[in-house]
Structure 1
Amino acid sequence: MAGGAGTAGVEREFEALGARVRLHARCVDCGHRTGVGADLPVILASVVKVPLVLEFARQAAYGQLDPAERVVVRRGDRLGGTGTAGCWDDVEMSLRDLALLMMSVSDNTAADLLFRRVGVDTVRLLVRELGLTATRIAGSPRTVLEKVLAEVGAADPAAFAAVYPTLSPERIRALPTLDPPRTNSGTARDMTRLLTLIWTDRAGPARACRWVRDLMARQVSWHRLAAAFPEEVAVAAKSGTLPGVRNEIGVVRLPDGGRYAVAVFAETDSLRQRRPDLDAAIGAAGRAAVTELRGCCGRAAGQTPPSVSG
C-alpha cells in the first residue's frame, strides 16, 4: 500500500539529502503493512547475509552439517572489511562462530566461507521456497568481487584497491556491485516477508529461526534502525553498505509486544562513505513506519499467524 500518515513525508526527507528510499514495513502478527517504493529493485549488499545464515541454520537443524565443524580462515580467504580481515595470522574457528562474525560485525570472509559450505544454489532455492520472487542471489562475496575485478581489469583485490581511487564516480556507479541485475538484489517487500517468516518460525525449523533471530540481535552496529528507538525497544537487524548504498532490515519489538518487520534501502549519487545524516534518516523512516502501523493488530494470544502475502 502507499505510504500513509507516518510515511507520507519519507520520500521528501530522503530527496532533501540527495537520496532515494525504498521502504516496507509490516506487522509480524497481523500482516498490516505500509511502504514507499517497496517493489522497486534494491541492492542487498550485506543484507544478503540474512538468507545465507538462515540456510546455514536450517542445514544445521536438519543435521546436514555440524555447526561445530572447524574452519581455517587463511590469508588467501580474506576479502577485506571487518572481522577476520584484520587478523595477521590464520584463524581457526567453528562454522557457527563464522556465522556470529558474519552477522555481528558483517565479516565478508565469513560470509564467503559459509556460502562455500552451504552452497550458493541452495540459498537460491531457499529464496524461491520462501516466495521471495523478486530476490536474486548472484553469488558469494568473492563471486561478486571477481565480477568487479574483471570489469576494471584488476588481477586481484590488491590491484583493485590501487586502481579504485582513479575511477570516476560514473565508472564506480556502473560496477556490477551497484547494478541490481548483476548482483545480489531484491525488494523491500521481499525482505519484510523474509523477516516475518523467520519471526513466526515459518522459514524453517523453529530452532533454526530462533538462532537467526538471536544472531540478528547481536549486530554491533546500532546507528541506523535501532538508534531511532529508546532502549526499551528491542531491535534485531542487519545492515548493508556499499558506495552510494545504505540499507537496514530488522524487526522492532515494542514493550507492548507489537512486532514490526522493517526494511529501508537508501541510494545516493554521492559515494561518500560517512553519511550520518542518511543513517539517521533510515532510522527515522523505520520509526515512522512502525508508528503508522501501531495498534493495527489486536491479534489474540495463541492465534495462528496469517499467511504472508504481499
Structure 2
Amino acid sequence: MVEERIRRVFAGAGAEGQLHAVPVSVPAPVHGRAGGAGEAGAQPGVREVAVGADDPVVIASIFKVLLVLEFARQVVAGQLDPRERVRVTAADRLGGWGTAGCLDDVELSLRDLAHFAMSVSDNTAADLLLARVGPDTVRLLARELGLERTRIVGGPRDLLESMLAEVGARDEREFAVRYPALPDDRKRRLAVLDPRHTTASTPREITRLLRLVWSDAAGPPEACAFVRDLMIRQVFRHRLASGFPDDVAVAAKTGTLPGLHMEAGVARYPDGACYAIAVFARTRDLAVSRATVDAAIGRAAGIAVGSLRGGGDGR
C-alpha cells in the first residue's frame, strides 16, 4: 500500500510523518468574501493519498501563504497600496534570511515584504506585513476559506516571544545561551512545537488552501495569481522539489522549527496536471537542519503523487 511505503520512508529518516496529496480541482464551495463551509475528512470520489491527513500539525512559516493571500486580496480591493514604503530597523529584525538578517536599516515596499516572506521565508518581512494587514483579518480569511481547524496565534515575533518567555530569556542573545542547556524533553515541551498551543492546521486543510488558490477560488484571480507567482519563486528546493523530475514545476512554502520539518506546495507536470501536497515530519532529534529528513519529504511526496498518476515516485 502506498501509505505504508510513505510511512517506511519517514521511518528510514528517523521521523514520523503526516501527508496529504490530492489533484488540484475546484474544492467544495466556500462562503464569505471568497466563498465557505469546509469539507470534513475525505470527499467522496476524490482521489487522494492520506497519511495522518487529519492530525493537527504545527505549520510554522507555512502560515505565510495565508498572510500573503490576505495582503493580495486587500491590494486588489484597493485597501492597500502595494508600493507603500516600509522601513525595517534594528528593532524589527528577528534574524534569518532576507531583511531579517540585514545589518543596516533598509526600506522597501509592502509588495517586496511579501516577496521576501515567501521566497526566502523572511520572518521580519512577514511580521511587518502581518502588522499592516492585521492579524485578525488573516484569522477571518482562514474561517472564510473553510479552514475550520487552522489556527493563527500570531506572527513570527509572537512565537519568538513565547519561546523567550518559556526559557526565561530577556532577549535572543540570552536565549542562545539558555536554550542549548535545556534537556531535550524540556525543549520538546515548548508551546511552539505543540499544535494545541501554536499556529497549526492539518495536512488536509493546507492542501485545501492550495487548491483554492490554484483554482482562483480563494479570492480575486489577481490575488491568487500573485500568491502562485511568489510560491514558484521560493529559493529552497531541498524538500518537495527533490522528489520530482526536473520538468515538474514545484511552487511551495517551507516551514522549520527544532525537530519539525515541513513543506506544502503544488507540483505541475508538463501535461498540465497539478497536485497539491502537504508534508509534515517530526523527529526526536531537535536539529533544525536534517538532510535525510528533507530528502524523505521529497521522496514521500513523489511516491504520493506517483500513485495518484497511476505510476510511481512522482513520474
Q: Which amino acid aligns with 2:302?
A: R
Out of 66, 82, 86, the position equivalent to 2:81 is: 66
Q: Secondary structure at the match of 1:9?
A: helix
CA shift at 1:32, angstroms?
2.4
Which residue of structure 2 lines up, in the alignment, with residue 119 of structure 1?
Answer: 134
Which residue of structure 2 lines up, in the alignment, with residue 89 of structure 1?
Answer: 104
Out of 172, 178, 181, the position equivalent to 1:163 is: 178
TM alignment of 1:184-263, pairs within 5 A: 184-263=199-278
TM alignment of 1:267-306, pairs within 5 A: 267-294=282-309
Distance in 1, Cα, partners of 2:138 & 2:310: 35
Which residue of structure 1 lines up, in the alignment, with residue 279 of structure 2?
Answer: 264
1:119-178 CA-to-partner distances (Å, cap 9, x unmatched) read 111100000000011111011111111111111111122221221121111111111110
Kept in 1: contact 2:260–2:288 (CA 8 A): no
- Tell me the TM-score normalised to structure 1 length: 0.91
Kept in 2: contact 1:7–1:288 (CA 8 A): no
Q: Percent identity?
A: 60
Distance in 1, Cα, partners of 2:288 & 2:169: 22
Kept in 2: contact 1:6–1:291 (CA 8 A): no
TM alignment of 1:146-157, pairs within 5 A: 146-157=161-172
RMSD: 1.3
Further displaced range: 177-186 or 151-160: 151-160
1:205-259 CA-to-partner distances (Å, cap 9, x unmatched) read 0000000000000000001111111221111000101110000000000111111
Q: Secondary structure at the match of 1:288?
A: helix
Q: Secondary structure at the match of 1:198?
A: helix
CA shift at 1:45, angstroms?
1.0
CA shift at 1:295, angstroms?
5.7
Q: Establish whether residue 17 from structure 1 lines up as the match of residue 32 from structure 2.
A: no
Kept in 1: contact 2:14–2:293 (CA 8 A): no
Further displaced range: 130-139 or 29-38: 29-38
Q: Which amino acid aligns with 1:218?
A: R
Contiguous gaps of at least 5 residues in structure 1: 297-310
Kept in 1: contact 2:100–2:125 (CA 8 A): no
Q: Secondary structure at the match of 1:240?
A: strand
CA 1:150–1:132 in structure 2 vs 1: closer, same or farther (change >3 Å)?
same
Contiguous gaps of at least 5 residues in structure 2: 27-45
Q: Secondary structure at the match of 1:274?
A: coil
Q: Which amino acid aligns with 2:273?
A: G
Which residue of structure 2 lines up, in the alignment, with residue 307 of structure 1?
Answer: none
Distance in 1, Cα, partners of 2:219 & 2:128: 22
Q: Which amino acid aligns with 1:26?
A: V
Distance in 2, Cα, partners of 1:252 & 1:13: 20
Further displaced range: 187-196 or 149-158: 149-158
Distance in 1, Cα, partners of 2:191 & 2:54: 21
Which residue of structure 2 lines up, in the alignment, with residue 75 of structure 1?
Answer: 90
Q: Secondary structure at the match of 1:77?
A: coil
Q: Secondary structure at the match of 1:8?
A: helix
Kept in 2: contact 1:246–1:279 (CA 8 A): yes
CA shift at 1:61, angstroms?
0.8
